[in-house]
Amino acid sequence: MPENEPWEYTLYIPNDPRAVTVARRTLRLILTMHGLIRLVDTAELLAAELVSNAVRHTKGPAALRVRWSAGVLRIGAWDADPQPPQPPEESDPLGEEGGRGLALVKACADLWGWQPLARHGNRGKFVWCELGAA
């Protein structure tokens, strides 16, 4: 499949800490198969932070969504908690072990954000970030 054609994958995951590793490895395989190996390391880091937050701070299931379109990779994590994510700390994102997830996302992604979701009676939020191909 040519690199410029759009595609999208969704991986539904249980509320289980092992889901972070499954999400990282799945994302690595997806990007490798689509010829986007140059984005793998940063994308894996971003996906791990987003999925980790979804699993750690909620009690329900979650999902990793990966989309490629117009030279931009969008990585997002859905969870069932409609509360907005805590804003990233302005301190050094590498200085502490806990609480650095969104600061790391902010530092490594070209763009990031979140949106509340309500569909088919389910509520939650989608936290996403983007990486350009350049």
Which pLDDT tens digit goes with each residue over 31-77? 999 999 999 999 999 999 999 999 988 888 899 999 999 999 999 99
Q: What is the pTM of this model?
A: 0.86
Whether the CB-CB separation of 117 and 124 falls below 8 Å is answered with yes
Whole-angstrom CA distances from 131 to 4, 20, 67, 68, 119 are: 15, 19, 11, 10, 27
- List beta partners, residue 123: 118
Q: Where are the alpha helices (DSSP H) in the chain?
A: 19-33, 40-56, 101-108
Instruction: Kindly tell me if the per-residue pLDDT of 94 is higher than 80.
Output: no
